[in-house]
Amino acid sequence: MEARVTFSPAGRSLFDEPLAIAVEGLQPQQQVTLRASLRDETGVLFESRALYQADSGGQLDLSRSPALEGGSFSGLEPMGPLWSLQPEKPFWRLVKRDVQRPYRLEVEVLGSCSQCLAKGAHERAFLRDGVRRIPVREGRIRATLFLPSGEGPFPGIIDISGTGGGLPEHRACLMANYGFAMLALAYYAYEDLPKDMKEFRLEYFEEAVNYMLKHPKIKGPGIGLLGHSKGGDLCVSMASFLTGITATATVNGSIANVGATLRYKNIVIPPLGISRKRAKIDQTGTADILDVLNNPLEGPNCQSLIPVEKAECHFLFIVGKDDRNWKSEFFATEASHRLQANGKEKPEIICYPGAGHYIEPPYFPLCPASMHLLVGLPVIWGGEPRAHAAAQVDAWQQLQTFFRKHLNDKQDGRQNKL
């Protein structure tokens, strides 16, 4: 019997879904290397290798067989071949740009002398059948709306990414697969939007909120906000100043305005000050920027604090305790203090030991370091691969639970405090 790689589901699955990988037809107790690989849309190869031993029947089931020491990971890790993928190009992060095209995952079983004993391929998709992808160019808004299958109306969420610019869609797309109407919102470095991060006007984001509130497929009366990194502090600003926000979740976000001046009507919030001298650069030229930002509680830096205490919505702060981009746990804790000191609801804070800055949907591989557009150098993001992978799985469920709990027709949108 020839060796054969099998997948369950067989030919295609969603990227954030578990995938069962097995091999049959090996020799009893045979030791093999399992090589998993995929290429991103720029052609960069990502690869992992794990060492395994078949059972007495020549079977290898990753849900029951622990990986041996010496590969990209070890132990019982059924999804290890995916979350341990590493790029051949240094300082490179796996970024999905075209959510309509699945990744092609290839798995090879290698014997002694790297002889290929079996191989198989599987598609990891981002769009569930029936989910609609709708480009939005209405007024100033540059975005993509993802509507779940069915008639709706659906709970609506605006998804805002970090400092990379453009229009990332992968997180919004995957969330829409679970019944949320998701608006992936660009805010700079895309089409006719500002080319760089110098100044943002909250009126642009207010326009996006109003678009969602008026959309016939969106269940009101309020919507949710989901932001990562810089997108997190933009979401906190929106929740603090705008109407119609019921629930806000940030992933390693800030409660100080960072990177660009923020304006809303007659209000100006300057960016939090920095000191590049506090960056630690190693022999490879990689920077640790954890201490670069000034303390927003000290002196004139207080002007950069977002008045989160004005917000009337529910909050969830997802925190990677090994976030090396900035002190996200400090920001979440300070937000909690300020909200409660002003009689507001205590936010949910979920901290993940060993998780770094880029907490993505499940099974995206950890990116330990990559180029930071604002710093101009590769920076370390933090995270230990196994712990980070587990955090991504749990955080993904926590986000869905949070929004399902609060985005129902009994919740009121907040009132403007200006």
Residue 13's nearest CA partner among 130, 103, 87, 107 is 103
Environment class of 115 (CB within 10 Å of its CB; exposed 0-12, middle 13-18, buried 19+): exposed
Tokens of 3: 């060796």
Contact between 136 and 215 under an 8 Å Cβ cutoff? The reply is no
Tokens of 317: 């702060």
Which one is catalytic: 84, 229, 304, 370? 229
Tell me which residue has tokens 């008026």.
Answer: 214
Which one is catalytic: 357, 372, 388, 406? 357
323 labelled catalytic: yes
Neighbouring CB atoms inside 10 A of 122's CB total: 23
3-state secondary structure of 286: coil
Which one is catalytic: 16, 233, 322, 323? 323
Environment class of 407 (CB within 10 Å of its CB; exposed 0-12, middle 13-18, buried 19+): buried
Core vs surface per residue 315-336: b (16+ CB within 10 A) or e: bbbbbbbbbbbbbbbebbbbbb
State the Cα–Cα distance between residues 211 and 280, nearest whole angstrom. 43
Strands of the sheet with 116-125, listed across from one edge: 12-14, 116-125, 103-110, 31-39, 45-53, 86-87
Contact between 53 and 109 under an 8 Å Cβ cutoff? The reply is no
196 labelled catalytic: no
State the Cα–Cα distance between residues 406 and 224, nearest whole angstrom. 9
List, by residue number, the catalytic residues.
229, 323, 357
